[in-house]
Amino acid sequence: MTLTTDNLFYSKRLKMTPPRSEDVQTMLQWNEDPEYLRNVDTDLAIPYSEKQLEDEGETKNKEVYFRLRTHEEDTLIGFVVIHGIEWNNRCGQLAIGIGLAKHCNKGYGTEALNLILRYAFHEMNLDRVGLDVIAYNAKAIRSYEKVGFQLEGRARSAVYRDGKRYDRLMMGILRPEWETHNQIHTEGEQV
């Protein structure tokens, strides 16, 4: 598969950028939304401090981290990261977050997933990308399936929220699957 864009970090409406100092104030707002905190992690919903957010995205050997911005307004809307990278096995784990509700349900998540997967498979030369998601996060699951992720497993009753137990779903995608899926769903479009 050949790349269909002139810039590795750009899609139709989004771009992946390194962290900027001014991002912290926007991300502090995200941390005030318990739904965001509960969807982005299975750990306790605890807002990060300003210092923690300043340190987030520091380059590490087993992590590739980007902030997501819109092209037109250069608005920070989220982040994507490939973490837990096992270079010898050519695999890693994906995490994504869209910060504010006003940026949800606009297709940004699906677009960002294709952008980071293109980067993971074509630039990082990975063969497999996995993720886990809480079973109640139906919107995220739909986005993952839309780009070709498949359900690979389930940790039953692994997350406890508001007095209820939820499964944690493990999903994954292989490079040939993404390339085939992406080709079918974007024929004639620039990715």
Is residue 191 assigned to a domain? no
Is residue 6 assigned to a domain? no
d(CA 53, CA 27): 7
d(CA 183, CA 190): 11
Q: What is the CA radius of gyration of the chain?
A: 16
Instruction: Please tell me the predicted confidence (pLDDT) of residue 191.
Output: 40
Is residue 63 assigned to a domain? yes
Instruction: Please tell me the predicted confidence (pLDDT) of residue 186.
Output: 55
Instruction: Please tell me the predicted confidence (pLDDT) of residue 62.
Output: 81
Q: Are 101 and 119 in contact (CB under 8 A)?
A: no
Is residue 190 assigned to a domain? no
Number of domains in the chain: 1
Instruction: Please tell me the predicted confidence (pLDDT) of residue 182.
Output: 80
Is residue 1 assigned to a domain? no
Q: Are 148 and 191 in contact (CB under 8 A)?
A: no
Is residue 9 assigned to a domain? no
Domain of residue 76, CATH code: 3.40.630.30
Is residue 45 assigned to a domain? yes
- Containing domain of residue 137, as a range? 14-185
Instruction: Please tell me the predicted confidence (pLDDT) of residue 164.
Output: 95
d(CA 150, CA 172): 5
Instruction: Specify the 3-state DSSP secondary structure of 79.
Output: strand
Is residue 125 assigned to a domain? yes
Per-residue pLDDT of the chain (191 residues), as tens digits, is 444 556 889 999 999 999 998 998 888 888 888 888 888 887 778 888 888 888 776 666 689 999 999 998 999 999 999 999 999 999 999 999 988 778 788 889 999 999 999 999 999 999 999 999 999 999 999 999 999 999 999 999 999 999 999 999 999 999 999 999 887 665 544 44
Backbone dihedral angles phi then psi of residue 73, each to the nearest 5 degrees = -100, -10
